[in-house]
Structure 1
Amino acid sequence: MNRRLTLINPAYTRLWLGQAISSVGDAVFSTTLVLWVATELAKGRSWAPEAVSGVVLSTGLAVLFVGPLAGVFVDRWDKRATMLRTEVFRGSLVAVLTAVAFLPARDLPIGAWLVLIYLTVLTLNAASQFFNPARFSVIAELVTGEADRARAAGIAQATGQVAWIIGPPLAAPLLFTVGLQWALLFNALSYAVSWVAIRSVPAPAGLVAEQDRKRAERKSLAKEFTAGIRFFGGNRFLVALLVLAVIGQLGIGALNTLNVFFATRNLHASAQLYGYLGMAMGIGGIAGALCAGRVVEWIGARRTTWVGLLVSGSLLVLYSRQSVFASGVVLLFVFAVPLTMLNTAMSPLLLAATPREFRGRVVAVFYPVTQLSSMLAAVLAGWLAGSGLRGFAGSLAGLRFGPIDTIFTAAGVAVLAAGLYARSALPDPQAPPAPAPDPAPAGAGAEGTS
């Protein structure tokens, strides 16, 4: 492959290319379903918002309930084969929904359409809980070194941001000009492209050897799941990273839920301008992700994490005091840069602290917990703004406070506190990771599930 077109190494580049196309397909798929439910199935119905929220809820349920157990199986299975089979399954599932979508919408009751959509989204995201830890393990073998792993994480975050910039504007024309089925078919084909890209990457030798050892030492499903939880809970580094990630979700959850109200009330902007705030964060996220590898190489992943928390917490507090739309846009762009850098820096730290045989289970605990914390933060922020601090007004040192800016300020202070905690809680990066628990004798797993 032409060196100018290579990201980190050729194998990683091929894997990235497939995932980039698949990510755009996922963005088109998600946006298409939301638009179709809102503008066709539930058009003019009082329960339209609830119908749309069911799509989001289906995603969250898959992450929370399938994710933790999926890691046990991923640690048992061939990682590359798991990725390939998952892409076949997901592509086939979307292809089935595409075929059904050729039916006129009136041929099925609205309830049947909604159940079909929710089950498809739930199953697709359940399959993703197997794919994502497997990809994490494969990338860990393909990319070595803290700086390169940070670059890989940064590239992945930037790719995800770009996919969500490209996907939604592409989904609407596809849906309203050529129809639902063709928008869905786009996603099915994106899984096929991803399969081809994964197939072109040779199986990492380290994972093949690990798979052979795991097969010889197979234990019961319950024992392996318990061993993963015990390992995670006994590793100070992993626990500290999880605490930091959970606290970091406070700021994001508050922004995602309340920023539209902050824009209209505090920044005195029209609702039509709200999209520019999201665009500013998206561009800042891309900039931060692309710069993260160089910053980690310069100051290290551990320092990037705690400095990023301190800077982003301070910027969130500063954003909460804004009253002019233009300054709010600029601050959100700047805020997204260190926030994305610290999220990127956590990836090599997570890899360094996790032995190969536990990677699937660690990822399957880490990300569902952060997903749950993000959901809870959003719910808490909404409740505080709508009920808990409703009508709140006060002043301190000449500064006036209302409900939304108070919530943003509190979230920023929490992120600042997390940065101070990270500086002392994250162990020395030169220290070796905690050893994995001793495996049980080979015969101990005779009763296990395969």
Structure 2
Amino acid sequence: MTPRLTLINRDYTRLWFGQAVSSVGDAVFSTTLVLWVATVLAEDEAWAPVAVSGVLMASSVAVLVVGPLAGVFVDRWDKRVTMLRTEVVRGGLVAVLTVVSFLPVDALPAGLWLALVYLTVLLLHAAGQFFSPARFAVLADLVTGEADRARAAGIGQATGETAWIIGPPLAAPLLFAAGLQWALLFNALSYAVSYVAIRSIVMPAPTAERQRGGGRERGGVRREFAAGLRFFARSRFLVALLLLAVIGQFGIGALGTLNVFFTTENLHADAQLYGYLGMAMGAGGITGALCGGRVVQWLGARRTTWISLLVSGVLLIAYSRQTGFLGGIALLFVFTVPLTVLNTAMAPLLLTAASAEYRGRVMAVFYPVTKLASMLSAVLSGWLAGSVLRDVGGSVGGVRFGTVDTIFAASGLLVVLSGVYAWAALPGKETAGEDAPGRPPGPAEQAATASPDGTPEATVAVTPRTPPPGPPPRPDHDRGGTE
């Protein structure tokens, strides 16, 4: 009998495969755009940092404008069909930009190029606001039980980070050796692979819980959106998870905007090596994903939170003082580990804290708020680097400082202060799944109650990157980046 490679179950494996390929495409796409804008379109221009921050801001605007209402419609629609349609839309958008990119750079004004890039990124992430909550709900239906959901979350996080090991080193050679269009084409094809994988999934038969709320009153979008907000706001546990995600996004937002400039100016490395910094962060994320569950079990969720924040902040400050490329890579790797550990308990807890009828709207609150923190950090850091702190430089006590490293150090200090706040403010025991507005708590909420020692029952997972993030931020796979 020939063994089959299956992760948890067959349909989850297909979902995972499609998103693994798509995540690599997103990593190549995001890194390529940042590099192209910074080193080709805005080469030697004072407004280059602002131009790069605009790429990140475009994704954030889509999340903030479309995201909150997208959850209402995702809760109404067939989740698998929603995912399929968004992959078609996103693949088509990237294909159009690919065709345009065959033009010489000087064929269009820089402002028009930036407008095309920003519009494409905005529309990609707008579509992603329907994809990510739908995938969240599909995952909850395909994978049941806290243990398997924890495994799925850990696999997803490790896969996303692996994509950022593979993708960025591919992006720079593709851009500088082959051209922008080939990196864009790679991402367009990755959406096609994701579409085929999702189409092959067989969804389980609807349960009573998943069918609940299927009939909506006419004109009830505003009412349903308000009900989702009330559900989220009344859950102290969901609010606490959101706060942690915001802290993580806001603390590292400057990296996504300014790290390419830090590479060339502070680490004295060629721009073509920039992708290896993303690879280092990916390796750190995998390490954190693999050890995060054990850390949470050992220390408890509360201690893991504030210790991870303190350690991450100190490491970001240390990274800001690096002047060599190898030292920078090492610090970025170590810095990413506690950040990932901080997030490892979140995904399965979100799955259990939100009942099936509210999953889309829960994520429609979670994604936009964390993206807002990332957007504010990206825009603020780009503005400071390009204007207010542009000419900052000097030496204090023999320690030299400049524009970008000063911003990174300030971001690290913010993360440290957040760790102190978490130590003082977080409750000793965590409770997920407060009563939803207008109904008694269901089994999903009851199952998410923390154990007596304050350690959540589900302990292995990570918030989606945006990426993702994550990205960083990386497009959510929100990487969306576009996950």
Q: Tell me whether the two structures share a fold, i.e. TM-score over 0.5.
A: yes
Give the secondary-structure state (helix, strand or coil) at the position aligned to 1:434: coil
Q: Does structure 1 residue 420 correspond to structure 2 residue 423? A: yes
Distance 1:33 1:319 in 2: 24
1:284-433 mapped onto 2 (5 Å cutoff): 284-293=284-293, 298=297, 303-304=300-301, 306-314=303-311, 316-317=313-314, 320=317, 332-378=332-378, 407=410, 410-420=413-423, 423-424=426-427, 427-428=430-431, 433=433
Q: CA deviation at 1:160?
A: 2.1
TM-aligned CA distance change 1:47 to 1:229, over 3 Å: same
Residue 426 of structure 1 and its aligned partner are, at CA, apart by 5.1
Distance 2:336 2:257 in 1: 16
Q: Tell me, yes or no, if structure 1 residue 225 matches structure 2 residue 213.
A: no
Partner SS state of residue 204, structure 1: coil
**Equivalents in 2 of 1:413, 1:104: separation in Å?**
46
The structure that is helix-richer by fraction is 1
Number of residues paired by the alignment? 426
**Does structure 2 conserve the Cα–Cα contact (< 8 Å) formed by 1:260 and 1:271?**
no
Report if aligned partners of 2:267, 2:328 keep a CA contact under 8 Å in 1: no
How far the C-alpha of 1:237 sits from its partner, in A, is 1.0
Answer whether contact 1:308 1:339 (CA < 8 A) is retained: no
Aligned match of 1:93: 93
Aligned CA distance change for structure 1 residues 211 and 76 (closer, same or farther; 3 Å): farther
Question: Shift in Å at residue 198 of structure 1?
Answer: 0.7
TM-score norm. by structure 2 comes to: 0.74
Cα-to-partner distance string for 1:368-417 (whole Å, 9 max, x where unaligned) = 11121233345567789966xx799999xxxx999669736633432323
What SS class does the counterpart of residue 203 from structure 2 fall into?
Answer: coil
Q: Secondary structure at the match of 1:437?
A: coil
Deviations 1:177-216 (A, max 9, x none): 444333322222111110111111112334x755644332
- Which ranges of structure 2 fall in alignment gaps of 5 or more residues? 440-483
What letter corresponds to residue 313 of structure 2 in structure 1? L
Please name the residue that 2:215 is paired with: 216
Query: Is the partner of 1:123 in helix, strand or coil?
Result: helix
- Whether the aligned pair in 2 keeps the contact of 1:255 and 1:408 (CA below 8 Å) is no
1:10 is aligned to: 10
Give how far 1:311 is off. 3.7
- How far 1:46 moved relative to its partner? 5.4
Inter-CA distance 211–29: structure 2 relative to 1 (3 Å threshold): same
CA distance in 2, matches of 1:327, 1:169: 18
CA contact (8 A) 1:288 1:336 kept: yes
Opposite residue 195 of structure 2, the aligned amino acid is: W
Change (3 A) 1:406 1:291: closer
Code of the aligned partner of 2:414: A
Distance 1:401 1:420, change over 3 A: farther
- Tell me if structure 1 keeps the 8 A contact 2:35–2:260: no
User: SS state of the match for residue 215, structure 1?
Assistant: coil
Q: Does the Cα contact within 8 Å between 1:82 and 1:130 map onto a contact in 2?
A: yes
Secondary structure in structure 2 of the residue aligned to 1:424: coil
Cα shift readout 1:220-268 (whole Å, capped 9, x = no counterpart)? 1110111111111111111111122223334324666787899999xx9
- CA distance, structure 1, for counterparts of residue 408 and residue 159 of structure 2: 31
Structure 1 position 201 matched with structure 2 position 204: no
Task: Provide the C-alpha distance between the structure 1 equivalents of 2:354 and 2:226, rounded to a whole number of angstroms.
Answer: 16
Give the Å deviation of 1:84: 0.8
Identity of aligned residues (%): 62
Counterpart mapping for 1:38-49 below 5 A:
38=38, 40-42=40-42, 47-49=47-49
User: Equivalent residue for 2:283?
Assistant: 283
CA distance in structure 1 between the partners assigned to 2:409 and 2:107 by the alignment: 50
CA distance in 1 between partners of 2:127 and 2:217 (Å):
23
In 2 relative to 1, CA 122–282 (structure 1 residues): closer, same or farther, beyond 3 Å?
same
Q: Distance in 1 between matches of 2:331 and 2:43?
A: 37
The 1-side partners of 2:431 and 2:418 are apart by 21
CA distance in 1, matches of 2:155, 2:286: 9
Say which is worse superposed, 337-346 or 414-423, in terms of deviation: 414-423
Q: Provide the residue aligned with 2:144 in structure 1.
A: 144
SS of the residue 1:214 aligns to: coil
User: Are 1:122 and 2:122 matched, yes or no?
Assistant: yes
| TM-score using structure 1 length | 0.79
Give matches, 1:230-245, under 5 Å: 230-245=230-245
- Establish whether residue 73 from structure 1 lines up as the match of residue 73 from structure 2: yes
- Residues 99-108 or 287-296, more deviating: 99-108
The equivalent of 2:474 in structure 1 is: none
Q: Give the aligned partner of residue 434 of structure 1.
A: 434
Shift of 1:97: 2.7
Q: Is residue 248 of structure 1 aligned with residue 243 of structure 2?
A: no
For 1:109 and 1:264, the matched residues in 2 are separated by 26
Aligned amino acid, residue 338 of structure 1:
P
Provide the rounded CA distance (Å) in 2 between the counterparts of 1:401 and 1:36. 30
Structure 1 position 149, deviation (Å): 2.3
Within 1, Cα distance between the matches of 2:382 and 2:51?
19
> Structure 1 stretch 151-160 or stretch 110-119: which is displaced more?
110-119
Structure 1: state its 5+ residue gaps: 440-450
Distance (whole Å) between structure 2 residues aligned to residue 333 and residue 72 of structure 1: 38
Cα shift at 1:319: 6.3
Structure 1 position 87, deviation (Å): 0.7
**Structure 1 residues 139 and 48: alpha-carbon distance in aligned structure 2, compared to 1, 3 A threshold:** same
Find the counterpart in structure 2 of residue 20 from structure 1: 20
